């Protein structure tokens, strides 16, 4: 019996227009009525999650795993209950890789939800990404960022896809030896604290809730969902997912633009 469902946002709960189909909302409410816990699990920061979660209008205490597993919140008071963080040394090291570059930038999310770009002027791709998560990127120097003494959850390198391809080819092996990394979008290469993934955050959460992996359903479409899909008792790849994601999942559903999430909940939980 499934007791918890972990749901990705972009490409899963949301359509390509970043809307939630009413069919998805109705299916989630039916699952909650059946006693299933809802966990939104996403690479987005809090600013890009809470407005969407609140559209679900869930009255029970649920959970969100954000920043690709770097931080977990319970939703009744939006309290941080678990996190991984980048040290000042980590942030400095990440920045030094692109300090003299003009076509790629490092951005940082902190505990207050600020979207910092360690450059004087954000690249267009940085501004584009910030708009998706309802924030404005704040230019800051490395020294100013470290002086804040805040928890920094993750670093993201943003650039046009071809530029990022070259960066990833050059530095991925080095970065992956020290951090959890994922190419979450064609314009984003993410570096997270070592061990931080959606799966690791979800494992820690279900242990607290006394839920086994076999009682978890996970659904997603992106490379950052693969570990989560591999750990869940029931794993479902969206129809719009890439081949690596489909290979990691036990089952497949329809696309995000055709109510694939609702269809999966109806098939594997409600029926």
Q: Note the pLDDT tens digit of each residue in 123-173.
A: 999 999 999 999 999 999 999 999 999 999 999 999 999 999 999 999 999
At residue 32 the predicted structure's pLDDT band, cuts being 50, 70 and 90, is: very high
At residue 111 the predicted structure's pLDDT band, cuts being 50, 70 and 90, is: confident
Once rounded to an integer, what is the mean pLDDT over residues 60-64?
93
Query: In percent, how much of the chain has pLDDT > 90?
Result: 97
At residue 83 the predicted structure's pLDDT band, cuts being 50, 70 and 90, is: very high
Residues 186-232 have pLDDT tens digits of: 999 999 999 999 999 999 999 999 999 999 999 999 999 999 999 99
Q: Is the pLDDT of residue 60 over 90?
A: no
Greater confidence (150 vs 112) lies with 150
**Residues annotated as part of the active site:** 8
Kindly report the pTM of this predicted structure. 0.91
What pLDDT sits at residue 59? 85
Would you state the CATH architecture of domain 4-83+196-270? 3-Layer(aba) Sandwich (3.40)
> Is residue 188 a contact partner of residue 158, using CB atoms and an 8 Å limit?
yes
CATH of domain 88-193: 3.30.1240.10
How far out from the chain centre does Cα 234 lie?
19
d(CA 207, CA 203): 6
Once rounded to an integer, what is the mean pLDDT over residues 78-96?
96
What pLDDT sits at residue 198? 97
Once rounded to an integer, what is the mean pLDDT over residues 30-44?
97
Mean pLDDT of the chain: 96
173-209 per-residue burial string, b: 16 or more CB within 10 A, e: under 16: eebeeebbbbbbbebbbbbbbeebbbbbbbbbbbeee
> Is residue 201 a contact partner of residue 227, using CB atoms and an 8 Å limit?
no
What pLDDT sits at residue 36? 97
Q: Domain coordinates of the chain in residue numbers?
A: 4-83+196-270, 88-193
Q: Is the pLDDT of residue 266 over 90?
A: yes
119 burial (CB, 10 Å; 0-12 / 13-18 / 19+) is buried
């Amino acid at each position: 019996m499934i007791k918890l469902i972990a749901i990705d946002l972009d490409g899963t709960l949301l359509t390509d227009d970043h809307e939630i189909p009413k069919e998805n909302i109705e299916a989630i409410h039916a699952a909650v009525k059946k006693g299933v816990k809802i966990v939104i699990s996403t690479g987005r920061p809090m600013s890009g999650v809470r407005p969407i979660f609140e559209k679900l209008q869930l009255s029970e205490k649920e959970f969100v795993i954000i920043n690709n597993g770097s931080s977990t919140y319970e939703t009744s008071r939006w309290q941080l209950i678990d996190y991984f963080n980048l040290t000042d040394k980590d942030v400095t090291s990440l920045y030094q890789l692109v300090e003299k570059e003009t076509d790629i930038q490092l951005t940082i999310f902190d505990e207050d939800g600020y979207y910092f770009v360690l450059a004087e002027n954000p690249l267009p791709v940085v501004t584009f990404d910030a708009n998706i998560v309802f924030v404005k990127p704040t230019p800051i120097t490395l020294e100013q960022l470290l002086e804040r003494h805040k928890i920094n959850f993750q670093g993201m390198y943003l650039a046009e896809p071809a530029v990022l391809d070259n960066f990833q080819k050059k530095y991925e092996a080095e970065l992956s030896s020290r951090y959890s990394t994922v190419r979450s979008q064609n314009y984003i290469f993410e570096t997270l604290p070592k061990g931080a993934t959606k799966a690791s955050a979800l494992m820690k959460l279900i242990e607290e809730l006394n839920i086994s992996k076999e009682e978890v359903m996970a659904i997603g479409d992106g490379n950052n969902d693969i570990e989560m899909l591999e750990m869940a008792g029931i794993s479902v790849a969206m129809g719009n997912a890439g081949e690596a994601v489909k290979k990691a999942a036990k089952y497949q559903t329809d696309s995000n633009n055709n109510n694939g999430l609702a269809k999966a909940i109806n098939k594997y939980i409600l029926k």
